[in-house]
Structure 1
């Protein structure tokens, strides 16, 4: 029985990056031996066990073969006869198919260390094409390591393209897809994730609404980059540079989907794209079963981001409607995330990345003015029920008019 550290822990140590999760593989052992040593089994699908003291996961070396469609369409074989090399060859990328023993002696049968040095993301074997989830995983690794100069090997990109065109991506569950997408959104360069998906034709399968933005022009006076798809990538890039949370990054990706519906004869203008895009944003949200907070913010940003840009020009009544839509009195954080998404949108334009965004503080001030209207004096005047709501609205409108005059 031999135990090896495998996968990401080995890769990140060789890259000089912090090692967070450690995967262990056990070679030459049976389920009975693991149980006899106090390891606790987890799950019915894989021969995986929890260490009796550390609680870390230890998996028996196994082989796998395709038995159906999608991520779950595999049968596994684990036995003491399965070698370390056989276990490693079923992995996705060469840089994830290395192992080391407790003396840090490296086992690298598929040249992962060389690919690390050459900054290449390369598949281990043709079996890569049996798992459609790997298209998203490779794109996510590309987003993570783009800053180090990593690129996808041409032959791996070709396999990803074949997978994208095979219909296999459609067999992925919403949960598995969202897990990869949400992790990719939080990488250092999430725009690279979208770029790689587009290069291998996966984007038009997974998110045709985003793919449709590429090649759609916008007025150059507002968008020096012109292309709506390039703009979306730039907004996503800005959201990562400014360390925005997942909710904001997701909203940034989807905020302009309505521009993909504009008839060509109306280009480069996109009248009412905010409203037109809502059904598309909703479709993407539902397709991946995005968390409720991500869904809500994406829809609100899609509908109101131009209000954010025009904040200083808005009438007090329009400002009040905007604040009410976000329920700033009970959910101030959601409005703060809306402001952040608007600022990322404003900065995601060629040559304007460093522009100031005075609308942010103006909107915060407006929300503060509305929130500071006290309810107690209205209660003391005898207002209650719907009448109280109307009276509160009038006082908030008055406060916003005063705020506008003094801003």
Structure 2
């Protein structure tokens, strides 16, 4: 788009990702020298209340007027914006968070880079644009997310930027963020590469203690070295997230892995490094986190199941047939087989999230899946007997228990004790 008075530029992530050789999914545009009336006259549709953003009449791509921001209050929304036609491209880029996100591009491919973004791309550096970085507390989460996303490419946070993240964490500004904004960044990090890096960065800069204290409290809490060679519970959580990334792209499973051991943060110090009963202690915390972050209901439900039953999943071959049946019932495996499979994946990530045991054989998955398969009943045969109501439920339970008993005995005969 161009006119006598205004010019559109590709900006931000689209420019950054193209220069990195990554797929460009979304393209954002900034328009310099235009008024809202100029864009409306060309058929653009205005959206958003904080500042004018317009959707292209054909592509629906977002076009924002170049703007500057001036802090006038606390929190993410405490800004006064100026989007007048005389705001320059350079002024718009100067308000952005990181130098690698503060580049613009013309249609001919030429790059406008007043903040040194190309140099920092080459150096694999996440560096803030200006001291105004500290005016927006959400940037702490955004930098942590970029650190996670680009960790496989070798990116790291500039020391001076990390110092500003620590400053923001101490300032009280993080407490002004709405749950929706926190969850948006956190859920995107859980869905992306290296979610462990996201939470590790937040822990190191002091933000996790404010945003997710239940997880932050796990760092420094010891566990039995014979089960957890890494000892530290916080480190185990990060290692488990690494394994969850290896096993699945499902962010809901990764969320459950993140929270599975939060009860260990409440273990009395006089019984450490043992954590007997941590599963039950963790359930109120998992509920509180889900409600506070407003996580999707399905995510909360899976996290509670993993938090409560992950140890039983690990010791599967120790459970009697009636206990196996009861656990499958509590997991609602027959009505929710997909969620049952997700539960097993989360438990596998927990088992492998231990130093030196990352590639262990998690035989328990096959054991539980075999037990589940063994509980399938011959419904037509039961219906042919005219069974109904309580009699039908009793017959189903008896048949399942009998088949589980046969399965367990057969499994033990083949494999006396899995290693």
Task: Output the TM-score relative to the length of structure 2.
Answer: 0.95
Residue 197 (structure 2) aligned to one of 167, 192, 197:
192
1:39-58 aligned within 5 A: 39-58=44-63
Q: Paired residues, what number? A: 406
Q: Does 1:389 align with 2:397?
A: no
The equivalent of 2:370 in structure 1 is 365
Partners of 1:106 and 1:148 lie apart in 2 by 22
Cα distance, 1:314 vs. partner? 0.9
Distance in 2 between the 1:131 and 1:83 partners?
21
1:317-361 CA-partner distances (Å, limit 9, x unpaired): 111111111211111000101111111111111111111011111
Aligned-residue offset at 1:73: 2.0
For 1:64-83, list aligned pairs within 5 A. 64-83=69-88
Deviation at 1:376, TM superposition (A): 3.3
Unmatched segments (≥5 aa) in structure 2: 1-5, 412-419
Displacement of 1:385 in angstroms is 2.2
| Aligned position for 1:314 | 319
* Superposition map of 1:218-367 within 5 A: 218-367=223-372
Residue 403 (structure 1) aligns with: 407
- Give the match's secondary structure for 1:147: helix
Unmatched tracts of structure 1, length 5 or more: none
Higher deviation after alignment, 160-169 or 384-393? 384-393
CA RMSD of aligned residues (A): 1.2
Give the deviation of 1:147 after TM superposition. Answer: 1.3
Moved more, 83-92 or 391-400: 391-400
Q: Distance in 2 between matches of 1:384 and 1:128?
A: 67
Summarize deviations over 1:190-234 as a string: whole Å, max 9, x none: 110011001110010011111111111111111111111111000
In structure 2, distance between residues paired with 1:290 and 1:52: 34
Whole-angstrom distance in 2 between the partners of 1:243 and 1:259: 25
User: Partners of 1:159 and 1:386 in 2: how far apart?
Assistant: 64
Q: Is the 8 A contact 1:89 1:124 kept in 2?
A: yes
Contact 2:144 / 2:198 at 8 angstroms: preserved in 1?
A: yes
**What are the residue-to-residue correspondences of 1:147-226 with 2, within 5 Å?**
147-226=152-231
Other-structure match for 1:25: 30
Residue 254 of structure 1 deviates from its aligned partner by 0.5
2-structure distance, mates of 1:226, 1:279: 24
- Tell me how far apart the structure 1 counterparts of residues 392 and 209 of structure 2 sit (CA, whole Å): 50
